Amino acid sequence: MSKIYHTETQEDFNALMKELEEKGYVWFGGNKPTQRLDFWKFLSKEMCIQVDNNKSLTFCDSNYYQSRGFEIIEYRDPKKEEQK
């Protein structure tokens, strides 16, 4: 089953991409997650990443996933959370 992550900031997105790359995930086009950090700018605060069991990643805006009843997990950069 897919997991859907929402990233509020570019920093959060970058941290999630690094974590997913370490776990062997790739974007739908075959790129490593950290090779496409520019994807966040397409949707910015509405960015959601779909993480599939087959280790592939796709993205769409949060409204897409909300309208289809997906649970959206708020992802925050763990380093940023430690500083609080």
Residue 79 pLDDT grade (very low, low, confident, very high; cuts 50, 70, 90): confident
Other CB atoms within 10 Å distance of the CB of residue 38: 8
Q: What is the pLDDT of residues 31-43, one digit of tens each?
A: 999 999 999 999 9
Strand order in the sheet with 26-27: 26-27, 56-61, 47-51, 3-7, 72-75
pTM here is 0.91
Residues 20-33: tens digit of each pLDDT: 999 999 999 999 99
Q: What is the pLDDT of residues 58-68, one digit of tens each?
A: 999 999 999 99
Q: 39: burial class by Cβ within 10 Å (0-12, 13-18, 19+)?
A: middle
Residue 43: C-alpha distances to residues 7, 49, 50, 61 (Å): 10, 11, 14, 6
Range of the domain at 12: 3-82
Domain count of the fold of the chain? 1
